[in-house]
């Protein structure tokens, strides 16, 4: 009998051991390194206390990177969520080629971030990119119709080279990828919606908007919670697209905390300072998600 009780534990030993080695230990090791001046190479280092954090909170690049992360979160919890939910509502019905459309919308999520970064870097290319080439064609047509426009001016738009456009251009590329993922999650949630309530609402004369607002969307609350948590986590740990497309430039205008941490730790050899950035990012992520989940639990209990 005791042997059977220990059997589940024996199956958990290996995954728990791997989790401790690859997740728990590095997390606490990073927190410890945040209080040192280790450069990542030297065998010895000094304990500097909160010096890294004091330097961090006075660093303009840190505040700019944090602001970009918050912009990323603001966009991701609105546009991809709305578009993904809209696509899910449409494709949940009997639509022609619905399987093909589902695959097509989800396909960007399957691609690696590096591939997406290179793809959109080409799309944003000032002279040969798809966007500027399309603008040149449209302005040429407008000029032929008598409008006072300069088609050549479209070639001078630097989507990734303009400090005012670089961050938003990267967020647009990330949004394109994330919409399909949100759509799949909502499609799964729509399969659990009670159709009897929808039928009762239709009998009572409710409009499609009223059915969605008062019947469908409340039943999607658990899915919405999952979508928001995943979206916030992905927004705060954004790194791949930024590094591939701009390296955080120009002039740190597109920098985010994860990219700032990587540059300081592995390119500037400030491992202690990079660890401090990682700790702050970790605390922001945990605090944000814990506060949101607490609010959701309180609402469900009411």
* CATH number belonging to domain 41-124+159-301: 1.10.3720.10
Q: Residue 173 — very low, low, confident or very high, per pLDDT cuts 50/70/90?
A: very high
Alpha carbons 166 and 173: distance in angstroms, whole number: 11
Provide the residue ranges of all domains of the chain, joining segments of one domain with +. Answer: 41-124+159-301
Q: What is the pLDDT of residue 3?
A: 57
Q: Which tokens is 197 given?
A: 């309530």
State yes or no: pLDDT of 10 exceeds 80: no
Neighbouring C-beta atoms of residue 74, cutoff 10 Å: 12
pTM of the shown model? 0.89
- Contact partners, residue 55, CB within 8 Å, separation at least 6: 273, 276
- pLDDT tens per residue, range 93-110: 877 888 888 889 999 988
- Contact partners, residue 89, CB within 8 Å, separation at least 6: 186, 190, 212, 216
- pLDDT tens per residue, range 72-83: 999 998 999 999
Q: What is the pLDDT of residue 288?
A: 81
């Amino acid at each position: 009998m005791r042997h059977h009780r220990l059997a589940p534990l024996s199956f958990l030993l290996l995954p728990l051991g791997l989790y401790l080695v690859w997740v728990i230990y590095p997390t606490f090791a990073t927190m410890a390194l945040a209080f040192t001046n280790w450069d990542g190479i030297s065998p010895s280092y000094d304990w500097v206390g909160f010096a890294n954090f004091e330097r961090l909170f006075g660093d303009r690049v840190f505040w700019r990177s944090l602001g970009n992360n918050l912009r990323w979160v603001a966009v991701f919890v609105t546009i991809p969520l709305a578009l993904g939910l809209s696509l899910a509502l449409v494709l949940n019905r009997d639509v022609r080629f619905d399987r093909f459309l589902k695959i097509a919308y989800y396909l960007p999520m399957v691609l690696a971030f590096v591939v997406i970064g290179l793809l959109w870097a080409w799309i944003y290319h000032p002279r040969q990119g798809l966007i500027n080439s399309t603008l040149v064609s449209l302005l040429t047509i407008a000029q032929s119709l008598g409008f006072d426009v300069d088609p050549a001016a479209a070639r001078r738009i630097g989507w990734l080279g303009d400090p005012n456009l670089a961050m938003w251009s990267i967020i647009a590329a990330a949004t394109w990828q994330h919409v399909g993922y949100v759509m799949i999650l909502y499609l799964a949630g729509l399969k659990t919606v009670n159709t009897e309530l929808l039928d009762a609402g239709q009998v009572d004369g409710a409009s499609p908007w009223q059915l969605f607002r008062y019947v469908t969307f409340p039943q999607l609350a658990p899915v919405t919670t999952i979508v928001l948590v995943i979206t916030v986590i992905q927004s705060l740990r954004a790194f791949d697209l930024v590094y591939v497309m701009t390296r955080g430039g120009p002039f740190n205008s597109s920098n985010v905390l994860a990219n700032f941490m990587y540059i300081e730790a592995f390119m500037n050899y400030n491992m202690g300072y990079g660890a401090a950035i990682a700790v702050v990012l970790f605390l922001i992520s945990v605090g944000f998600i814990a506060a949101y989940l607490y609010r959701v639990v309180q609402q469900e209990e009411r």
